[in-house]
């Protein structure tokens, strides 16, 4: 009678996505905010078109990182104490609970990346050589951010200042992701295959995944 | 209980003296001259920071496994030490960088990742501060103590992964260390000195933490007023005196 | 209703002995002993801030105890098997555990799906508490009493063996206070036990088998019912 | 308590006629007439979701009416002078209006300072509801009933002429339910009026002069008390 | 008996600051987050020290703008519906309520600017010619951000996704502030007196102030 873990995970993610659809934090708010950030930087630094073309990919990834983290720790991703109590009493495995949240985060961060992509291309007019590598780099990075954001969310649960202490913990740890993503884009732009960088991102993803699953039990107990 | 003990500080003091002597006796660098002697404080500071974060990792894992408070104290005390030594390495590196590179700070991956490591463990300490319940605090910071440790290999490998200005590994690398032997000896001595200083401080901090916990525990087991005891019945009569 | 049916009355569903509980370092319960048997309904009274809600969360295995031992549905605290009994416990607290931006139907179906129950079960539960007509209203647009009822529907859905109710009468209108008695009866018939926190002396004596009062952090029996 | 003292009993404190109210586009109250006189205490009943809380927020001048006219404390809706009577109204709703991260004392003193009352007034109010001993606990660490009491202290502090209570008995322990009657009495003595929403029939008849029921969006008088 | 408007305003601001002190969102969390952002951007765009020295002031102001807005719309700055009802019933003038909030925001944004200043100087090593002008530019910009943030907060009240819809509304309006602040720093760096730019900021401030005071009544009623 009890549904299997995959089914439960999907149900949990679906719930998060539905909540997000109602609040539209990511689509209507965080993504435009990220776009505005991309727009403001060239204005503030007063850079030439050539310089902008060079800065473009880096800026894109910085904004993805900073605001992608905001996506992962958005308000609707957090349960009230009562809701959390109900989830704990349901008998769903902690690892499944965490994976459900991470899955929803992944979808949203990826969506956010895709929304920002045309904006950054339009604003910075970067060199697009090697763009197919993005098809790998984008989901890998989104996965890492989503997983780290999920961990941060459950560590910051119930603390005052949650919405900001979460990002503070994730952003620095996500730095290797940022650096590797930037380098992979750069390598791809130079016509080289960015395998080492993608591998680095994948390693971070796998490490975060293992940590999430292995510590899930402890994270759910922190009430 | 003496927070510092007696033997360990004496040993540490001895090692420190020897290391200082060695640092001044070691030959000056051909290019940098005496400036290079900053290495004997900069590098040990960075390595001891690694060591303390590794101890935080160990303490965190052990706590999750055994749930004994002393492992939590180990993780917390050692993270404090690590933040201090990371800060020290940053400051000493800047001081060294100004004459050598001409700037206090530059966009070198080693520098940035070190600074980021500093922030990560500041976040660790902030998380501890923000959590009031001892059990929840230990649990959460243990999880974060594990997550945070990924920074250490990143800092170490940053010079290899990204082309860089900063010194690549000269000692901790496969094969023969690429450094003159007297310098290496002096460096190792100063590392030993820093490590023993750290050991003294860590033990003191852990003992203080244990005392704090004991005080807290005694306060708990003592007849403390219950949270509900301070709530009185309302003075309903007082409200409607003249009815 | 005052006499418990004799369904295995010796089995203890909840057994606490010498339990002390701190909430964020503040002592709330101290040296508390409590036994609730199968088929029994225990009333819990106590002044504001005496620790009734804290007691329920401890019994629900959601909050650790500082000292003392206890077991719930046969598993003792500290034993990792305690997690297996959780699905057989239902807790209704002061605030409703609904997602504000989901409709009542979505809220209930979400829980149903996670525990492998069909959609129908969720809809039936909503119908039973009289909310079938507003099932498509989001929780944020429901009145206090409607939320309370939806929370009770959750209990109907999960068919617990141990039911923990924290002042659930408040907010329910005259037509639906009977709901609570119905839920308690259902649990009793399944051979489970309930703990009911309330400030309403009359209701407690009417709906429960015996009442304890939380005084100075411990459970003191009131004159036997 | 059932007979109103004769302090200017003809003055209407609340007067609604033909009032319809929509909440975010959904019709909740329709063609409602209601009068509350000075010195009077009106009980309000009604099924869950019938619109009692909405009615109180309309009377508190916090929610606009769609059609119909009304006046509160002598000023009519739509007149900008209605803002001047607001400080003479107190509303206690389902949830406590306290800042979670301020202590109870800081919460009350904040309100006292804004209305030009001394610190003492705030401390006295807390003392009167029995919370003087926990005045330095932040609201986030208080139990449900403690928050309710602190919310009532707010009423003591502001000495309103029109008191609107929305199911405030819930959560109060046996020793403090008398608080509510005391507050109502105080308002009556000052020549004001109260509206009390509750689902508890007995309490309503005991504490109020007459009871109306909200049925299909309108106020229907119950057998005259 | 009723206290005057200034006193009330101070009381309201004090309450906000006290809440902030408890949650420590700005000091412990938002400011470090801003510092990390300053640290990451150069890393991602891989710029030379000389280029960075040039980008420095612009980056500082972009981060001040983006995260200063987060300061103004932080969680502790928002009342729950019940708290808002109580404030409305207190009989405090709506304009006073709004000014109290703006005052607290001003203090916090200024604090945030001051915290980030040494970080950006240490990291970007910019040319510090004309720095005394900052003594004017910093509070003027903080004032503008605080006022705009206050307006955004009350417009977004009760909307789901508040914490992010607020920034979205403020950031575009704050663009003139950003440009003027950047240009004033640049002009000062060239040894010219940046009066026109400071004037522009002051004009935005005054306009925001007027908007706040004049629409205060309407804003308080949107509940
Ligand atoms: C703010 C500036 C600096 C920071 C944050 C910094 C950081 C670090 C760190 C974290 C390490 C330990 C690396 C490891 O073994 O994994 C290290 C080692 C070292 N640093 Fe720096 N450093 C800075 C400036 C400098 C400067 C200016 C020099 C000299 C030109 C320098 C020379 C060295 C050397 C020789 C080592 C030992 C390398 C090895 O054997 O691995 N550092 N530094
Ligand atoms: N974080 C905390 N720090 C200190 N005391 C706390 C904390 N959390 C709760 N308390 C205290 O614990 C006590 C018990 O709270 P609990 O909610 O269990 O009371 P209760 O019996 O349910 O009261 P009520 O009848 O008002 O619902 C209260 O006195 C409360 O102030
Ligand atoms: N945003 C909204 N959209 C649609 N309907 C709403 C909205 N907000 C409230 N309602 C409806 O308005 C009605 C009246 O709500 P109100 O809170 O006034 O009821 P109540 O009489 O106080 O009920 P209770 O006894 O449960 O507290 C409810 O049916 C509720 O669902
Ligand atoms: Mg309670
Ligand atoms: Mg209501």
Partners for A (CB, 8 Å, 3+ pairs)? B, C, E
Closest by Cα among E141, E125, E113 to E56: E125
Q: Which two tokens stand for residue D49?
A: 């979701």
Q: Please tell me the number of the ligand nearest to residue C52's CA.
A: 2
Could you tell me the CA-to-CA distances from A158 to A29, A79, C14, D96 in Å, in that order?
A: 24, 9, 28, 19
Contact C114, A9 (CB under 8 A): no
- Please indicate whether, in this complex, the C-beta atoms of A160 and B117 are within 8 angstroms of each other: no
Q: Which two tokens stand for residue E178?
A: 């950003």
Contact D43, D198 (CB under 8 A): yes
Q: What is the predicted pLDDT for the residue at D73?
A: 92
Q: Of A36-40, D122-126, D167-171, E79-83, which gets the smallest average pLDDT?
A: A36-40
- ipTM beyond 0.90? no
- Asked if pLDDT for residue E161 goes beyond 50, the answer is no
Main-chain dihedrals φ then ψ at residue B154, nearest 5 degrees: -65, -45
Protein residues whose CB sits closer than 6 Å to any atom of ligand 1: B 39, 42-43, 46, 89-90, 93-94, 96-97, 100-101, 110-111, 114, 155-156, 166-167, 169-172
Average pLDDT for residues A195-204, to the nearest whole number? 89
Nearest CA in chain B to E36: B116
Partners for B (CB, 8 Å, 3+ pairs)? A, C, D, E
Q: What is the predicted pLDDT for the residue at B236?
A: 64
Reported confidence tier of residue D5, pLDDT bands at 50, 70, 90 = very low
CA distance C100 to B196: 56
Reported confidence tier of residue C86, pLDDT bands at 50, 70, 90 = very high
Reported confidence tier of residue B223, pLDDT bands at 50, 70, 90 = low
Average pLDDT for residues A120-136, to the nearest whole number? 85
CA distance C131 to D49: 10
Residue-wise pLDDT tens digits, C128-157: 999 999 999 999 899 999 999 999 999 999
Residue-wise pLDDT tens digits, C200-213: 888 899 989 999 99
Q: What is the predicted pLDDT for the residue at A97?
A: 92
Look up the pTM and report it.
0.87
Q: What is the predicted pLDDT for the residue at E158?
A: 56
Average pLDDT for residues A11-15, to the nearest whole number? 93
- Please indicate whether, in this complex, the C-beta atoms of E91 and D87 are within 8 angstroms of each other: yes
For CA atoms E97, E102, E103, E104, the dihedral sign is positive
Residue with the two structure tokens 């050598």 = B100
Q: What is the predicted pLDDT for the residue at D8?
A: 42
Tell me the shortest Cα–Cα distance from D73 to chain C, in angstroms: 27
- B173-186 as b/e, with b when 16 or more CB fall inside 10 Å? eeeeeeeeeebeeb
Any atom of ligand 2 within 6 Å of the Cβ of D142? yes
Q: What is the predicted pLDDT for the residue at C16?
A: 95
Main-chain dihedrals φ then ψ at residue D192, nearest 5 degrees: -95, -165
Residue among E21, E43, E51 with most chain B CBs within 10 A, to mutate: E43
E21 shares contact with chain B (CB less than 8 Å): no
Range of the domain at A141: 3-222
Q: Of B30-44, C66-80, C94-108, which gets the smallest average pLDDT?
A: B30-44
- What domains sit in chain C, N to C, each tagged with a CATH number? 12-224 (3.40.50.300)
Closest by Cα among A83, A74, A85, A196 to A146: A74
**In ligand 2, which atom is closest to the CA atom of D146?**
26
Residue ranges in chain A assigned as alpha helix (H):
5-23, 31-45, 49-72, 81-89, 94-124, 134-155, 162-173, 175-189, 195-221
Reported confidence tier of residue A29, pLDDT bands at 50, 70, 90 = low
B153 sits in which H/E element: helix B151-161
Number of C-beta neighbours around residue B136 at 10 A: 18
Contact C119, C112 (CB under 8 A): yes
Residue with the two structure tokens 């209605």 = D82
- Asked if pLDDT for residue C106 goes beyond 90, the answer is yes
Per cent of chain A over pLDDT 90 is 29
Q: What is the predicted pLDDT for the residue at C6?
A: 43
Q: Which two tokens stand for residue D180?
A: 């509510």
Mutate to test the pocket of ligand 2, among C50, C59, C169 (most ligand atoms within 8 A of CB): C50
C13: left (phi over 0), alpha (psi -120 to 50) or beta: alpha
CA of D95 to the centre of ligand 2 (A): 17
Ligand 1, atom 42, residue with closest C-alpha: B93
E44 shares contact with chain B (CB less than 8 Å): no
E186 sits in which H/E element: helix E162-189
Pairwise pLDDT comparison (A106 vs B5), residue with the higher score? A106
- Separation of CA D223 from chain center: 23
Q: What is the predicted pLDDT for the residue at B173?
A: 62
Q: Of B25-29, B118-122, D72-76, which gets the smallest average pLDDT?
A: B25-29
Average pLDDT for residues D138-148, to the nearest whole number? 93
Main-chain dihedrals φ then ψ at residue A171, nearest 5 degrees: -55, -50
Residue-wise pLDDT tens digits, C151-198: 999 999 999 999 999 999 988 998 888 899 999 999 999 999 999 999
- Please indicate whether, in this complex, the C-beta atoms of B127 and A172 are within 8 angstroms of each other: no
Residue-wise pLDDT tens digits, E32-58: 778 888 888 777 776 677 777 777 888
Q: Between β-strands C26-37 and C12-23, what pairing exists: parallel, antiparallel or unpaired?
A: antiparallel
Number of C-beta neighbours around residue C2 at 10 A: 11
If you ran DSSP here, which 8-state letter would residue A132 be given? G
Ligand 3, atom 30, residue with closest C-alpha: C142
Residue with the two structure tokens 């500093």 = B118
Q: What is the predicted pLDDT for the residue at E221?
A: 67
Reported confidence tier of residue B2, pLDDT bands at 50, 70, 90 = low
- Asked if pLDDT for residue C78 goes beyond 60, the answer is yes
Q: What is the predicted pLDDT for the residue at A162?
A: 60
Q: Return the bridge partners of D29, or none.
A: D21
- Please indicate whether, in this complex, the C-beta atoms of C216 and B224 are within 8 angstroms of each other: no
Pairwise pLDDT comparison (B54 vs A217), residue with the higher score? B54
Q: What is the predicted pLDDT for the residue at B227?
A: 81
Average pLDDT for residues A185-198, to the nearest whole number? 85
Q: What is the number of structural domains in chain E?
A: 1
Any atom of ligand 2 within 6 Å of the Cβ of C51? yes
- Asked if pLDDT for residue E29 goes beyond 90, the answer is no
For chain A, what is the mean pLDDT?
84
Per cent of chain D over pLDDT 90 is 70
- Asked if pLDDT for residue B238 goes beyond 70, the answer is no
- D131-161 as b/e, with b when 16 or more CB fall inside 10 Å? bbebbebbbbbbbbbbbbbbbbbbbbbbbbb
Could you tell me the CA-to-CA distances from B217 to B128, B134, D44 in Å, in that order?
A: 18, 11, 51
Reported confidence tier of residue D4, pLDDT bands at 50, 70, 90 = very low
CA of E150 to the centre of ligand 3 (A): 30
Using DSSP's 3-state secondary structure scheme, residue E216 falls into helix
Contact A167, A106 (CB under 8 A): no
For chain B, what is the mean pLDDT?
83
Reported confidence tier of residue D7, pLDDT bands at 50, 70, 90 = very low
* A213 exposure class (CB count in 10 Å sphere: 0-12, 13-18, 19+): middle
CA distance C220 to C217: 9
- Asked if pLDDT for residue C2 goes beyond 50, the answer is no
CA of D44 to the centre of ligand 5 (A): 11
- Separation of CA E121 from chain center: 20
Q: Between β-strands D162-166 and D193-197, what pairing exists: parallel, antiparallel or unpaired?
A: parallel
Any atom of ligand 3 within 6 Å of the Cβ of C101? no
């Amino acid at each position: 009678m009890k549904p299997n873990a995959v089914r439960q995970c999907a149900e949990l993610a679906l719930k998060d996505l539905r909540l997000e659809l109602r609040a539209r934090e990511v689509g209507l708010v965080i993504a435009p905010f990220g776009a505005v950030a991309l727009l403001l930087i060239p204005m503030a630094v007063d850079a030439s078109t050539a310089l902008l073309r060079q800065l473009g990919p880096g800026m894109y990834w910085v904004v993805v990182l900073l605001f992608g983290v905001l996506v992962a720790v958005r308000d609707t991703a957090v349960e009230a104490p009562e809701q959390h109590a109900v989830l704990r009493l349901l008998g769903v495995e902690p690892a499944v609970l965490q994976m459900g949240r991470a899955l929803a985060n992944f979808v949203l961060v990826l969506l956010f990346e895709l929304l920002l992509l045309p904006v950054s291309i339009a604003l910075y007019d970067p060199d697009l050589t090697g763009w197919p590598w993005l098809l790998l780099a984008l989901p890998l990075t989104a996965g890492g951010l989503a997983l780290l954001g999920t961990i941060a969310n459950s560590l910051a649960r119930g603390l005052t200042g949650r919405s900001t202490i979460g990002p503070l913990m994730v952003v620095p740890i996500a730095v290797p992701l940022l650096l590797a993503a930037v380098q992979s884009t750069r390598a791809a732009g130079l016509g080289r295959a960015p395998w080492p960088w993608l591998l680095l991102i994948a390693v971070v993803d796998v490490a975060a995944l293992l940590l999430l699953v292995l510590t899930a039990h402890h994270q759910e107990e922190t009430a | 209980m003496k927070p510092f003990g007696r033997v360990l500080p004496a040993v540490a003091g001895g090692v420190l003296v020897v290391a200082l002597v060695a640092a001044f006796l070691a030959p000056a660098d051909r290019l940098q001259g005496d400036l290079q002697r900053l290495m004997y404080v900069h590098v040990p500071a960075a390595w001891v920071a690694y060591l303390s974060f590794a101890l935080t990792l160990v303490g965190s894992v052990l706590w999750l496994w055994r749930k004994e408070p002393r492992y939590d104290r180990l993780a917390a005390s050692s993270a404090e030490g690590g933040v201090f030594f990371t800060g020290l390495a940053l400051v000493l590196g800047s001081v060294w960088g100004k004459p050598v590179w001409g700037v206090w700070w530059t966009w070198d991956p080693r520098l940035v990742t070190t600074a980021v490591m500093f922030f990560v463990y500041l976040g660790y300490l902030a998380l501890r501060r923000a959590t009031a319940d001892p059990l929840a605090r230990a649990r959460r910071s243990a999880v974060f103590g594990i997550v945070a440790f990924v920074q250490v290999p990143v800092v170490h490998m940053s010079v290899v992964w990204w082309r860089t200005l900063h010194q690549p590994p000269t000692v901790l690398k496969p094969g023969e260390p690429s450094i003159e032997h007297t310098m290496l000896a002096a460096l190792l001595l100063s590392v030993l000195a820093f490590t023993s200083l750290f050991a003294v401080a860590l033990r003191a901090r852990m003992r203080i933490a244990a005392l704090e916990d004991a005080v807290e525990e005694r306060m708990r087991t003592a007849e403390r007023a219950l949270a509900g005891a301070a709530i009185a019945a309302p003075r309903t009569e007082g409200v409607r005196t003249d009815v | 209703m005052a006499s418990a049916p004799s369904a295995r009355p010796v089995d203890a569903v909840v057994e606490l002995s010498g339990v002390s509980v701190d909430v964020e370092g503040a002592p709330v319960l101290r040296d508390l002993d409590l036994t609730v048997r199968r088929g029994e309904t225990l009333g819990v009274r106590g002044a504001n801030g005496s620790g009734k809600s804290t007691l329920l969360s401890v019994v629900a295995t959601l909050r650790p105890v500082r000292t003392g031992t206890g077991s719930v549905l046969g598993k003792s605290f500290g034993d990792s098997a305690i997690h297996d009994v959780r699905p057989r416990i239902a807790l209704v607290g002061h605030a409703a555990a609904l997602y504000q931006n989901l409709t009542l139907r979505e809220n209930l179906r979400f829980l149903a799906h996670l525990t492998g129950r069909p959609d129908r079960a969720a809809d039936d539960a909503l119908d039973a508490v009289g909310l079938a007509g507003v099932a498509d209203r989001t929780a944020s647009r429901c009145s206090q009493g409607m939320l309370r009822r939806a929370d009770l529907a959750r209990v109907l859905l999960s068919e617990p063996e141990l039911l923990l109710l924290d002042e659930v009468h408040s907010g329910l209108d005259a037509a639906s206070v009977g709901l609570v008695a119905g839920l308690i009866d259902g649990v009793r018939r399944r051979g489970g036990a309930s703990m009911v926190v309330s400030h309403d002396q009359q209701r407690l004596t009417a709906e429960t088998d015996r009442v304890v009062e939380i005084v100075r952090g411990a459970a003191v029996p009131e004159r036997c019912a």
